[in-house]
Structure 1
Amino acid sequence: MLRIPIKELDVPQYDDDHVIRSWKWFMSFMSKKDWQRRKADIENKIAVHFKATQPFSEPISEGTLLVEKNDVIGWYLYLLDMLINEPHKYEYFQGSRIVPIFKRFGLDFELLKNIGGVEKKIKDLINKRKSEADAFLFEIMTALLWARNGYQVAFLDEKKAGKTSDIIAKRDEETWSIECKRQSKTSDYTYRENTKRQKMVSYISKTLLERNILLDIEFHVELENLPDTFLKDLLEEKLKRPVTGKIVSNTKVDIELSFVDMFKIKEHLENNSVKDYSPMLHSLIGKKPIDNKGFTCGIAADYFRIGEGDVNNLYISYISNAFGVYCSCDAKEALWAKARDIKNQVHKAMQQFNSQNNAVIHVGMETFDGPQVEKKRFDKIKSTIAQISTENTNLKWIFCSFFQAYSRPHEYYIFDETVSTISPYLTPKPPLDTRLMIVPEDENTEDDLNHWDRPLP
């Protein structure tokens, strides 16, 4: 395979001082030798995993998390390392989730460093509890939020304190006990659904590729209840002479067919190199940004590598054929299964409170399953909160933070955030004036809508 020196590729140098500063601070909690060992281990796992994967079957945005589940913080720091130092190897999809967090850390760097116990928290994360990155980063973001609101904030040592909250915050005569709960990125149901979708598409991928077909599929029943050959059995004859428009509409599925714009792709590649598994590749094939729908694509192409090694440095110079498949499911059973409640997180948090201080729970979750799921989840959350009894605790507030990262061809990330503030009391004064953890308050849209109700960026 052709290999091009890095200097011949015009990749812009990343220069956001806020991100670089906070990344360097996190990196200072381990030795250079330890980082080189962990970096090599991450790259070995990625290289082996994606060599064994079919070209169309698993986007790196999902696959790497499954591969590197034992050192998640190492993977996140690796993403930042690549963005800053080896941008030709940067992974856009996962990076869009992580870079905004470190941007916030850098924006309020002095406040962050002055939080009591924050250095021990980071040391524990980097050296002892590597797989718990999402939970630990959420705790740090929560502590920083309270510091930004003028509180003196400290982490409590769970080994010494016994049954207690994660964070204590004090301001004037107020003392607040704060418990943090972070939902996993994606539900088990979504992973199972994605696996099923990929199997279904695999039976027709060769035909789709030969004819440059783009499908938009809306399932009305759960995918798990359908045979793996469902799409093949349904479409085999129709794909022999494909026509544009709705080709299937019944109680199980609606399918719209169009064609990949190969002329536009070839025109783009005449003047640009496109990275494999990138937002640019997906948008060229899918003819729009890819969000909230499962997307499977495949290409017949000429490739080259940038720089040394074989890790996430594969680029495309020419594409002869391409296909894409959008998939979504509006079955009420599927929507309900993906719309995870916060009941377990709230009840676990309440067990950590003593009766001395006013108590607050912060719950963090990502909204990758689309607006239909988020509406269902919101209904579940409201029902859960209505049934919570605060008789044995001083629970005053629950803050639900919803995060959404978007990957776009010409931007490192777009990040959105919605906060739902809930209290069992009628007219209390909330302890936080600023409530967005990551997005700067002045960047929040003025329409006051939940971000999943707004048009996609």
Structure 2
Amino acid sequence: MSRLLHFPPDMYELAPDEVALFGHDPDIKRCVEHFKAAMGHDEWIKRRDITAKRFYQSLIGEQPDPTGAGKFYDGKDLFAWYLFLGEAFNDHPQNYEVVFGCRVMPVFSAVGRNIENLQKVVGYEERLNRLIFKERGQPNGGLFEFLVAAAYVREGYQVSFHPEEPGRGRTHDLDVNRSGRRFAIECKRMESGQYHENERKWMRSLWKPASDFLVRTSESFCFDLTFKVEIDTIPKRFLFDLASDFVAKKIDNQIIHGDLAYGTIRRLDLSPLKAALSESSWMHPGPKYNNFLLGSYRRYESLLLAHKIRFAENPHFIDEVDQAVALRWVSGSDMAIGKKARDVMSKLVEANKQLPEDAVGIVHIGLDALGGDAVEQRRFDKIRTSVANFDTDGKPLRYVFCHYFSPEASIEEAWAIDETTSYHKASTARLPLHNLFLITPGEEPMRSGVHWDGAK
């Protein structure tokens, strides 16, 4: 029987003398309380318990993700997972998951700053209700609409959610007007690509035989490899053969440079992590734990890890580690970069069809920039070319905004985000927005360029 069927009475609160791990973010708190009030107390208590049990049972291996992707949450209620993370950040941080949470907290913080603005939007309450209940498995689109709507309210527009029209098919999301300038707006939120998900799945299958073999040695290792070909073209025994060859040589490290991959293999020194764990438990998964274990922190981390550990009383934390076998990997082939640099064309075509013919159209597209600098530069160039050459088929689409979000859980901060906005306009009129950022507060300093170009 699972030991997690019944949570302790203080599961969702801090002890009286306990220091909050991440401090307090009032904007996130306002957003969470706003969403909880809209959901209803009893509904939230029920969905919170289900979410927490799934999270902890996944952590200790009692309920592996049936998709094989290693997710800690039920994709059928992704909104409850988001809200659980938001509440945990301030109120019970011992349950907060930093790696996924860094993608949610910037959005919640922005919504929290803009609740009064959103409440000015006609139809907001109905749209929020749909997000919480009907769209619980796909909340990213609705949250993105809230960010866009708030941006126009901040600049003095009258904003309303366009009512659904049964029998007419899908229509645009927002109607905005100010001083005679009237726009119809469609919002599209791009999710992570199927190619990216397939690549991760294939890598897990490639690594498992090698990982199982290395675990049986009772020693610790780190493979740090960049692949020069597409992941699904790598022979199934490639990583296993590398592992068995390295162990047989009884050496401490080796440089790999071949037709398929380059990088290093090394025996892993656990002493820095053991020393840290001797002083306190460490949250896992988390960038600080990885930094102690692997000796460095990486922003775009693709990591597969098997380790022999002893959980703390709260299994979200680790007390001891006896062995670790890690694969840090990068998909660096030109072909893979090109395929992951997904174009927005399909979303733009879909959005254009939903725009009316009697109002100037605007499309806002939100996408995560999580693929590394090379991928994002390639994708940026493709998007810029495609949007500039897009045929609107007679629709008065005049402005297209692409919002790139790059969240991060670093060893210094609980969460951070870089935001880049590019636009294309087919009009001599001024842009409808002065501040083009949806998440970054307007008082923050801005610079020209893109966040992945490495400029300070």
TM-score by length of 2: 0.89
Q: Which residue of 2 aligns with 1:262?
A: 270
Q: Which residue of 2 aligns with 1:43?
A: 52
Structure 1 residue 390: Cα displacement: 3.1
Q: Whole-Å Cα distance in 2 between the matches of residues 246 and 51 of structure 1?
A: 33
Q: Deviations over 1:54-104 (max 9, x none)?
A: 99x99x9x6336x41111111111111222322111111111111111111
Q: Which residue of 1 aligns with 2:319?
A: 317
- Conserved in 2, the CA contact under 8 Å of 1:260 and 1:287? no
Q: Which residue of 1 aligns with 2:79?
A: 73
Q: Whole-Å Cα distance in 1 between the matches of residues 23 and 128 of structure 2?
A: 24
- Conserved in 1, the CA contact under 8 Å of 2:165 and 2:171? no
Q: Which residue of 1 aligns with 2:116?
A: 110
Q: Which residue of 2 aligns with 1:23?
A: 32
Structure 1 residue 403: Cα displacement: 0.4
Whichever residue aligns with residue 452 of structure 1, its letter is W
Q: Does 2:431 match 1:430?
A: yes
Whichever residue aligns with residue 170 of structure 1, its letter is N
**What is the aligned counterpart of 1:375 among 371, 374, 377?**
377
Q: Does 2:304 match 1:296?
A: yes
Q: Which residue of 2 aligns with 1:175?
A: 182
Q: Which residue of 2 aligns with 1:309?
A: none
Structure 1 residue 334: Cα displacement: 1.3
Q: How many residues align?
A: 443
> Which runs of no fewer than 5 residues in structure 1 stay unpaired?
307-312
Q: Which of the pair has the greater relative contact order for Cα pairs under 8 Å at 6+ separation?
A: 1
- Conserved in 2, the CA contact under 8 Å of 1:72 and 1:130? yes
Structure 1 residue 245: Cα displacement: 5.6
Aligned ranges 1:380-395 → 2 under 5 Å: 380-390=382-392, 392-395=394-397
Percent sequence identity over aligned pairs? 24
Q: Which residue of 2 aligns with 1:310?
A: none
Structure 1 residue 346: Cα displacement: 0.6
> Which runs of no fewer than 5 residues in structure 2 stay unpaired?
none
Q: Which residue of 1 aligns with 2:173?
A: 166
Q: Whole-Å Cα distance in 1 between the matches of residues 147 and 286 of structure 2?
A: 28
- Change in Cα spacing, 1:46 to 1:16, as seen in structure 2 (3 Å) is closer
- Conserved in 1, the CA contact under 8 Å of 2:59 and 2:316? no
Q: Deviations over 1:353-378 (max 9, x none)?
A: 22221110000000111112112212
Q: Whole-Å Cα distance in 2 between the matches of residues 133 and 331 of structure 1?
A: 33
Aligned ranges 1:410-449 → 2 under 5 Å: 410-425=412-427, 427-446=428-447, 448-449=448-449
Q: Which residue of 2 aligns with 1:273?
A: 281
The 3-state SS of whatever aligns with 1:417 is strand
**What is the aligned counterpart of 2:143 among 137, 146, 170?**
137
Q: Deviations over 1:115-159 (max 9, x none)?
A: 211111111111222122000000111101111222111111123
Q: Deviations over 1:328-368 (max 9, x none)?
A: 11222211221111111111111112222111000000011
Aligned ranges 1:148-163 → 2 under 5 Å: 148-159=154-165, 162=168
- Conserved in 1, the CA contact under 8 Å of 2:54 and 2:63? no
The 3-state SS of whatever aligns with 2:175 is strand
Whichever residue aligns with residue 175 of structure 2, its letter is I
**What is the aligned counterpart of 2:290 among 274, 282, 288?**
282
TM-score by length of 1: 0.89
Q: Whole-Å Cα distance in 2 between the matches of residues 54 and 233 of structure 1?
A: 31
- Conserved in 1, the CA contact under 8 Å of 2:272 and 2:293? no
Q: Deviations over 1:212-241 (max 9, x none)?
A: 322210111111112332111234122333
Q: Deviations over 1:150-204 (max 9, x none)?
A: 21111111236945320011111101110001111x2111112112222222222
Of residues 196-205 and 334-343 in structure 1, the stretch that sits farther from structure 2 once superposed is 196-205
- Conserved in 1, the CA contact under 8 Å of 2:20 and 2:90? no
- Conserved in 2, the CA contact under 8 Å of 1:196 and 1:228? no
Q: Whole-Å Cα distance in 2 between the matches of residues 385 and 228 of structure 1?
A: 40
- Change in Cα spacing, 1:428 to 1:124, as seen in structure 2 (3 Å) is same
Structure 1 residue 301: Cα displacement: 2.3
Structure 1 residue 431: Cα displacement: 1.0
Aligned ranges 1:171-250 → 2 under 5 Å: 171-184=178-191, 186-206=192-212, 208=214, 210-241=218-249, 243=251, 246-250=254-258
Q: Whole-Å Cα distance in 1 between the matches of residues 418 and 222 of structure 2?
A: 29
Structure 1 residue 9: Cα displacement: 6.3
- Conserved in 2, the CA contact under 8 Å of 1:301 and 1:320? yes
The 3-state SS of whatever aligns with 1:130 is coil
- Conserved in 2, the CA contact under 8 Å of 1:285 and 1:297? no
Q: How large is the Cα RMSD of the aligned pairs?
A: 2.8
- Conserved in 1, the CA contact under 8 Å of 2:155 and 2:433? yes
**What is the aligned counterpart of 1:82 among 66, 76, 88?**
88
- Conserved in 2, the CA contact under 8 Å of 1:285 and 1:324? no
The 3-state SS of whatever aligns with 2:138 is helix
Q: Which residue of 1 aligns with 2:401?
A: 399
Q: Deviations over 1:284-324 (max 9, x none)?
A: 22222233241122322222223xxxxxx432122233232
- Change in Cα spacing, 1:12 to 1:246, as seen in structure 2 (3 Å) is closer
- Conserved in 2, the CA contact under 8 Å of 1:207 and 1:239? no
- Conserved in 1, the CA contact under 8 Å of 2:256 and 2:265? no
Q: Deviations over 1:224-279 (max 9, x none)?
A: 11233211123412233354665221111112134434222122122221022122
Q: Which residue of 1 aligns with 2:452?
A: 452
Q: Whole-Å Cα distance in 1 between the matches of residues 235 and 391 of structure 2?
A: 45
